[in-house]
Structure 1
Amino acid sequence: MNAPFPSTASGNDPRLPLQLLIAAPRGFCAGVDRAIEIVERALEKYGAPVYVRHEIVHNRYVVDSLKAKGAIFVEDLDEVPDDAHVVFSAHGVPKSVPAEAERRKLLYVDATCPLVSKVHRQAERQIEKGQHILFIGHEGHPEVIGTMGQVPEGQITLVETIEDVAKLPFGQDEDLSFLTQTTLSVDDTREIVEALQERYPQIVAPKAEDICYATSNRQASVKEIAGGCDLVLVIGAPNSSNSLRLVEVAQRMGTDARLIQRASEIEPEWLEGVGTLGLTAGASAPEKLVREVVDRLSDWRAVSEEIITTTEEKMIFKLPRQLTD
């Protein structure tokens, strides 16, 4: 067990003070709330087990909680038995996945975030117009795999960095458009888009920015607190794109930042020389984990909390009809 922090604090509390700036908004977004509720409703309606293709959202605490209720997580439909109920994750899936589910007569519910589904529809429309899509995203991320799987092979090209833009083989006379993953760094994506538009003045942009409101809002809230902090902790999974971007945002402002999944990962040495600590959570991390971190910090320091709110979120997404009828 970690020893208490040494202190020179005065008064009755022997612990050193720690000013805690908690970012708002933080944690669950509307798409994550909806995806988790879809699995819970499916379990209530159909009974356990319900199979979920890929982690419903990228958070181990959430996944383990749903496992305890009867969800079984798989990476491929080959692992799902016939006549089973299956849920597709919030990140979206290639068209081949529901097609295979229908071929096998599996009963499935699609928990794809509506904002990801919007990108899928845009991709289809751009292909219908004869445009080749340049898709800004991270190779191997489930959302990228799902979006690229909406169009015929060879009609979409992944762009990860500004350096990739310079290597593209297309000319300025070709019909091009671009889309982006919804969980990217706002600043990085802007730079890549500007590079694309400079090289290809004819490129067609999406009607509205693809980076989702929750990703943008959480990055803005970290920018608001990071400059006044000695350390920023981001609660999220290492495979969570939006959580990793929050760490990067804080670091680019010159602030030390760390990604943690649970409070138990925090080491007391991290707090040496830290008077003000920032705390936020990625869109897949529940508020319970935020409070868990505050409690752990309070074991070592006299914590005073301040919520720094940059915007209010009121977005709600409807559940699929088959779970509400």
Structure 2
Amino acid sequence: MSGFVEKPDPVQVPGLLHLHTGKVRDLYRNEAGDLVMVASDRVSAFDWVLPTEIPDKGRILTQLSIWWFEQLADLVPNHVIGTDVPAGAPADWEGRTMVCRSLRMIPVECVARGYLTGSGLAEYHKTRTVCGLALPEGLTDGSELPGPIFTPATKAAVGDHDENVSYEEVAREVGAETATQLRQLTLAVYQRARDIALDRGIILADTKFEFGYGANDGEDGIGIAAETDVGLVLGDEVLTPDSSRFWPADQWKPGQAQPSFDKQFVRDWLAGREAGWDRTGETPPPPLPEKIVDQTRAKYVEAYRLLTGLEWS
């Protein structure tokens, strides 16, 4: 069993239809048919959404996604229309809201890896492959791969695990042409982001993207002419500490778990003796202590500062 410790009641806003409450984001549709994505301060670990929030997390994820969409705009169009808070919405939505075009989402998590860790490392230990791709002998936790690889996964519902799949399975699911486009675009975006991050002292070990199809119905911030079919569009969040592994480049040392700019403090505490929690059982996880909340928030803030060059306020 896993999921929310206690699923929150959605905020009701005049003119918005609540569609879905995810691990972090709440999704609405406005009267124009656009999607309104609101990033909460919720945090998940081990397939549980925890009872304790991380202050400012939702705003940092939103602002970092918007910054990355701007860095990638010449490579791929994105779904963002604007960031205005809908009339009648809570003041707390400021800075954590994106109004987005509705896309026909492709049911594939498009994962790019430049370094070996996580589920990729676990598979490598068993088969010397990741998603069916053969890798050299002698790699260890944190090893840089000979080149970035596309390692897709199926999208899972809240409480379920995403499952790594082969490229051939993706091609059977979405068609060979779309699979080729997904792989090419995923690797191109990863390599652009990897180079930007490394210039700022951060290793982008791996990340995941979501793409969808959509037609643009007017001139907007991505510079696509009116009534144009824009093909594959980058959606959801992008290149945040929730969807990526960011490591400090000056502390990278293969052969061990790497320091990271994400919620690793949360995972480590929950897995440790102090929490007293059995993550293999059905009992929900306990609240986080203040020191873990503060350390986790500081990691998100530091990632934002290093990547964007801006101080978080």
Greater radius of gyration (CA): 1
Per the shorter chain, which TM-score range?
A: under 0.3
**More relative contact order in 1 or in 2 (CA 8 Å, sep 6+)?**
1
Q: TM-score, normalised by structure 1?
A: 0.24
